[in-house]
């Protein structure tokens, strides 16, 4: 762990690779997680084991990131790696977002109160609360109430 800003009552289960990120109050980070420089994790969010959160990702409050979730900041738009961080794209995750295990999140924006099914690949912005799943992830149904 290098240059990590910790809020109060943060739990980190070793081994992890955290550097240059911000973890707000009551965040939980499971083992074998990598959180890169510039990432911000909101309070009361849980990051389960084996997840990878790359630079330029912001995750809101009271979120759940399942096991093995992968965030991507390079779309390989030119058929190869961007090669320079200035070409990477940001990802923004709202509050009360639950992301199922083994989902892949491309550089997009997800609004508040969304559930992403396990194994889904999110390729486009999600602008309405609800359940989304599949490859690519599509709207399945609305929420029956607030997700907490």
Three-class SS state of 87: helix
- The string of pLDDT tens digits covering residues 94-104 is 999 999 999 99
Residues 6+ positions from 83 with CB-CB distance below 8 Å = none
Report d(CA 34, CA 19) in Å as an integer.
Answer: 8
Place of tokens 């083994």: 102
Q: How many CB atoms are located within 10 Å of the residue 144 CB?
A: 7
> For residue 67, is pLDDT > 80?
yes
pLDDT at 37: 96
Q: The tokens of 92 are what?
A: 């923004």
- The Cα diameter of the chain in Å comes to 43
Least Cα distance to 17 among 62, 47, 56 occurs for 47
Strand order in the sheet with 109-110: 5-6, 22-23, 40-41, 57-59, 91-93, 109-110
Position 146 confidence tier, pLDDT thresholds 50, 70, 90: low
> For residue 44, is pLDDT > 80?
yes
- Rounded to two decimals, the pTM is 0.94
pLDDT at 137: 98
What domains are there in the chain, each with its CATH number? Answer: 5-141 (2.160.10.10)
> For residue 148, is pLDDT > 70?
no
Place of tokens 């607030």: 146
pLDDT at 78: 82
- CB-count burial class (<10 Å; 0-12, 13-18, 19+) for 32: middle
- What share of the chain in percent tops pLDDT 90? 86
Which run of H or of E encompasses 34? strand 34-35
- pLDDT, mean over the chain: 95
């Amino acid at each position: 762990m290098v240059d990590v800003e910790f809020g109060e009552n943060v739990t980190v289960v070793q081994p992890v690779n955290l550097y240059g990120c911000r973890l707000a109050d009551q965040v939980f980070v499971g083992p074998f997680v990598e959180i890169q420089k510039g990432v911000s994790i909101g309070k009361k969010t849980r990051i389960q084991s084996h997840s990878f959160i790359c630079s330029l990702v912001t995750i809101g409050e009271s979120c759940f990131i399942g096991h093995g979730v992968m965030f991507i900041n390079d779309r390989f738009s030119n058929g190869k790696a961007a090669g320079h961080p200035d070409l990477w794209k940001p990802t923004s995750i709202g509050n009360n977002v639950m992301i199922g295990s083994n989902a892949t999140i491309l550089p997009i924006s997800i609004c508040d109160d969304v559930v992403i099914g396990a194994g889904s690949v999110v390729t486009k912005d999600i602008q309405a609360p609800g359940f989304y799943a599949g490859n690519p992830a599509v709207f399945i149904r609305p929420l029956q109430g607030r997700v907490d």
